[in-house]
Amino acid sequence: EPEVTQTPSHQVTQMGQEVILRCVPISNHLYFYWYRQILGQKVEFLVSFYNNEISEKSEIFDDQFSVERPDGSNFTLKIRSTKLEDSAMYFCASSEGPNGGEQFFGPGTRLTVL
């Protein structure tokens, strides 16, 4: 059964460093998402992406964040200069269609900023 994959499973970085989190969405899906979950808190939407551009972003998704689909399979989230408060679980998701369609989630990348 097709699934969303994410790498790495755990990333440790120093404050101020750049990180790139990678995701491979399900191949025939057209909509891609990033969510994050700070330990003990709710899952929060970061950004949605369709047709090679951002379709929606939250107030969390500031200039330090960017997303890219560099090729036909990968979907990446870049944090330019990490802060301590960026420590969280980051989930990638994809769906065939927009609103109301099932979003398939990856297993997450745990980002720890020291």
Residues near other proteins, by CB under 8 A: 3-4, 31, 33, 35, 41-45, 48, 50, 55-56, 58, 91, 98-100, 102-108
- Taking the least distance from each CB to other proteins, the nearer of 40 and 72 is 40
Say if residues 6 and 34 touch (Cβ distance below 8 Å): no
DSSP classification of residue 102: P
List the Cα angle 87/62/4 in 5-degree steps.
Answer: 60
Contact, 77 vs 21, CB < 8 A? yes
**In terms of CB distance, is 48 or 87 closer to other proteins?**
48
Q: Pick between residue 55 and residue 73 the one whose CB is nearest to other proteins.
A: 55
Residue 38's SS3 state is coil
Rounded to the nearest whole angstrom, what is the least distance from the CB of residue 82 to other proteins in the complex?
A: 23
Least Å distance, CB 16 to other proteins, is 29
Tokens 């120093």 locate to 14
32's tokens: 């891609």
Q: Tell me whether residue 20 or residue 60 sits nearer to other proteins (CB atom).
A: 60
Smallest separation (angstroms) from other proteins to the CB of 86: 19
